[in-house]
Amino acid sequence: MHALDLPDAPVSKRGVPLVTQDEVTRRAINAVRHEFDADALTAVWEEATTAPPWDGPPMWVHADLTDGNILVRDGRLHAVIDFSLLGLGEPANDLDPAWGLFSGESRNVFRTALGVDDATWARGRGWAITSVLGISYYEHTNPGIVARCRRRVTAVLAEH
């Protein structure tokens, strides 16, 4: 999708600079401090928000490639669902699988296959950290989403 040239496409809701999510993400980090190391989460968040911004052209992104929206059968990609955030953005918007589906060496293979630079990877970790928003928002209504958000946050912290 990133290679498609769609200059008149709408901007994804995640097609904004990561730093625009700063206040709400910091509040959410504080809300989960009983469960996660808030200082470590904040350090990852600050590294992400201070990483050099994407300086390439906006590209077509799914922007919600969480483990709940990527369907796998027999260890292979079977389908991608939920295109509600589809639009123009930057490559970091599509790095969620790194922390939602992969670990260890498979995460490194994923990153290498995509050719992701350090700044984009840091911003991708930042978008993964925004999963803390889902923990508090869905805590009493959707345990499946909460579990997936917790896994992503845990994976980011383990990597960092």
What is this structure's pTM? 0.92
pLDDT, tens digit (0-9, with 9 covering 90-100), for 84-133:
999 999 999 999 999 999 999 999 999 999 999 999 999 999 999 999 99
Whose CA is closest to 152, among 134, 139, 136? 134
Whose CA is closest to 18, among 61, 40, 48, 52? 48
pLDDT, tens digit (0-9, with 9 covering 90-100), for 9-59:
898 998 899 999 999 999 999 999 999 999 999 999 999 999 999 999 888
Residue 3 has pLDDT above 80, yes or no: no
The confidence score (pLDDT) of residue 42 equals 98
Residue 111, token pair as written in the block: 């990153």
The confidence score (pLDDT) of residue 129 equals 96
Work out the burial of residue 100: count CB atoms within 10 Å of its CB; fewer than 13 is exposed, 13-18 middle, 19 or more buried. buried
Residue 131, token pair as written in the block: 């999963």
Domain ranges of the chain: 18-159
Fold of 18-159: Aminoglycoside 3'-phosphotransferase; Chain: A, domain 2 (3.90.1200)
